[in-house]
Amino acid sequence: MDGVVGVLDLTPNPFPCWEGGSEKQMERLKDKVAIVTGAAQGIGRAIAMRLASEGAKLAVADIDIDGATRTSEEIKKTGAAAIAVKLDVSRLQDAIDGADRVERELGPIDILVNNAGWDVVEPFVDSAPETWDKIIAINYRGVLNCCKAIAPRMQSRKRGKIVSISSDAARVGSTGEAVYAGCKAAIIGFSKTLAREVARYGINVNVVCPGPTQTALLKTAMAGREGVLEAMAKSIKNGDPLPAVQLRDGPKQTRQDPSPRAPNRDDGPAR
Ligand SMILES: NC(=O)c1ccc[n+]([C@@H]2O[C@H](COP(=O)([O-])OP(=O)(O)OC[C@H]3O[C@@H](n4cnc5c(N)ncnc54)[C@H](O)[C@@H]3O)[C@@H](O)[C@H]2O)c1
């Protein structure tokens, strides 16, 4: 997959187009405490780095403590505060213990990003119920657990932001990812409802649905189907997936660019 043109590349600098942000922008989240799950690598790592670059204090939460430590060390090198927190989002007690530790060491949590995710790509008819259980436990139950652990704290302080990472798969489906897509769609319904329940406490709940993004998860899912990945990359490059994103080896695209062709969902998983 390395060398593919067009898939959003998160390494080494996830957001080259945001380099040199204004001082005001860098202060936007000054001293806010953010916890990002699944931030050892990939999209979660990029989110954590971005929040830190805007002044937030970061809790890098992941089941992979070595990866989480690497991300937090990287953040600390920029001068921002960060801690690595080992937690398995599929376990409510881990989420509660993790939130306790973050509040003890960094302060009250202002921002929760539910990013941790996991999948096995295979036709639904071939999949085993044990696999469904794990996909549901991490991708859906993980969001419930972290919201259950953290939303009451935000509620008592009458402020907070919750952002959950769903997927394009939730909106348009994705071949080989039926259970994952179902979980990602569930996140949308859950978040719309939670948003209604906690709005009166000044808490915002939002969902982001990324398209294919070059991470370990996508690499694993597409193993042996690099041709498909290349086709997806080309279609993304020809389309307009994100505002002002620097595509590797490609031109910087902006919202003003024409969108001749959206990625074809049947080309492969939406992730
Ligand atoms: N990569 C894509 O193309 C894509 C597209 C749409 C949505 N997403 C979503 O974005 C999120 C991040 O995906 P990514 O591509 O960066 O994946 P990734 O595999 O690179 O990173 C996922 C992270 O989650 C962690 N994790 C897995 N299970 C966990 C658990 N039980 N508890 C805590 N942490 C756990 C992993 O250790 C890893 O650090 C996921 O929710 C994924 O579904 C990814």
Quote the pLDDT of residue 263. Answer: 46
For the segment 70-82, the average pLDDT, to the nearest whole number, is: 97
Residue 34 CA, ligand 1 centroid: distance in Å: 17
Does 257 score more than 60 pLDDT? no
Give 127-140 pLDDT, tens digit per residue. Answer: 999 999 999 999 99
Ligand 1 atom closest to the CA of 139, numbered from 1: 41
For the segment 219-242, the average pLDDT, to the nearest whole number, is: 73
Does 88 score more than 70 pLDDT? yes
What domains are there in the chain, each with its CATH number? 25-216 (3.40.50.720)
d(Cα 149, Cα 165) in Å, to the nearest integer?
17
Mean pLDDT of the chain: 84
Angle value at C-alpha 54, between 15 and 101, nearest 5 degrees = 110
Give the strand pairing for 245-246 and 252-253: antiparallel
What do you get for the CA distance between the two ends of the chain, in Å?
Answer: 16
Q: Which two tokens stand for residue 259?
A: 């969108």
* Percent of the chain residues past pLDDT 90, beyond the cut: 68
Ligand 1 atom closest to the CA of 40, numbered from 1: 39
Residue 244 CA, ligand 1 centroid: distance in Å: 23
Q: Which two tokens stand for residue 130?
A: 């044990």
158 to 23, 232, 264: CA distances (angstroms):
28, 43, 43
d(Cα 133, Cα 179) in Å, to the nearest integer?
9
Ligand 1 pocket check: which of 60, 217, 242 to mutate, most ligand atoms within 8 Å of Cβ?
217
Quote the pLDDT of residue 167. Answer: 97
Model confidence at 226, pLDDT cuts 50, 70, 90, reads confident
The H or E element spanning position 133 is helix 129-136
d(Cα 180, Cα 174) in Å, to the nearest integer?
9
Residue 256 CA, ligand 1 centroid: distance in Å: 30
Residue 23 CA, ligand 1 centroid: distance in Å: 31
d(Cα 18, Cα 28) in Å, to the nearest integer?
14
Give 158-199 pLDDT, tens digit per residue. Answer: 999 999 999 999 999 999 999 999 999 999 999 999 999 999
Give me the active site residues, please.
180
Name residues contacting ligand 1 (CB within 6 A).
37-38, 40-44, 62-64, 67, 87-90, 115-118, 138, 165, 167, 210, 212-213, 215-218, 271
Quote the pLDDT of residue 248. Answer: 44
Q: Where are the beta strands (DSSP E) in the chain?
A: 8-9, 33-37, 57-62, 82-86, 111-114, 160-165, 203-208, 213-214, 245-246, 252-253
d(Cα 70, Cα 76) in Å, to the nearest integer?
10
Q: Which two tokens stand for residue 60?
A: 């890098």
Give 140-153 pLDDT, tens digit per residue. Answer: 999 999 999 999 99
Contact at 8 Å (CB) between 37 and 90? Answer: no
Give 17-73 pLDDT, tens digit per residue. Answer: 445 456 666 689 999 999 999 999 999 999 999 999 999 999 999 999 999 999 999
Contact at 8 Å (CB) between 216 and 233? Answer: no
Go through the chain and tell me how many residues it has: 271
Quote the pLDDT of residue 21. Answer: 55
Quote the pLDDT of residue 271. Answer: 54
